[in-house]
Amino acid sequence: MLLVIDVGNTNVTLGVFEGKELKATFRLMTKTPRTSDEYGVMITQLLKSRDIEMKDLEGSIVASVVPDVMHSLLGGITRYSGKRPLIVGPGVKTGIRIVTEDPRAIGADRIVDAVAAYEKYGGPVLVLDFGTATTYDLINEKGEFAAGITAPGIRISSEALWTQTAKLPNIEIRKPKSILAQETITSMQAGLIYGQIGQTEYIIKKVKEESGLKNLKVVATGGLGRLIADETKSIDIYDSSLTLEGLRIIYEKNNR
């Protein structure tokens, strides 16, 4: 079995693969400080809840955009599993060539998504990840990471509304029954959701125009991706496990 871990700005997402089958997934809060022992015990207990033992793991792989977490997390995994994880970064085989101006500036999570989308759906493909930030990454037909767009995520936009204004409340992020809102909460929900849909459709349209790739496949992932994908025809596929699949694929490329 393989343990895959995606450390994002909001959540740490864990998955366990048996072969190519995703057997279990778990989420932890990223911003909660933990020691290596806390990570080790917590991951051990989470796996046990699905009848998986640490000794059953053949290995693990981690992609992270939060450097402060890595020392404790890697220490915990290494100590409790007996094996040091593979870390997605320079020198790791991915099968994706980054041709942007500063390849080292591309986050590990975006590389992982690009690998999964290209391997599963082919190129050219535009990968949308609706996470803490909303990212749009273009992988061409040759498997090259050609361009990326970064925008505020829906949660960031929501937090900006209620933390930077005196009277707007913290709200549930959901689509209201109508864009014609008549009170505060649904007016905020309408602005957030329909605003994100409009942004998504326009950016996809501009990417297709400027790249000339009319046959571009659009794949979305991320926690709030389903909410947006269900509301627009501009997204072809929603794949909730894209990032975890990408980690599995990269691990296999480096352990053949």
Residues marked active site are found at: 109
Which pairs from 238-241 meet CB under 8 Å and 24+ separation? 239/116, 239/117, 239/120, 241/15, 241/22, 241/25
Q: Tokens standing for 251?
A: 């691990």
Q: What is the sign, positive or negative, of the torsion defined by CA atoms of 172, 177, 178, 183?
A: negative
Closest CA to 146 of 136, 134, 156: 136
- Which residue in the block uniquely carries the two structure tokens 């909660």? 32
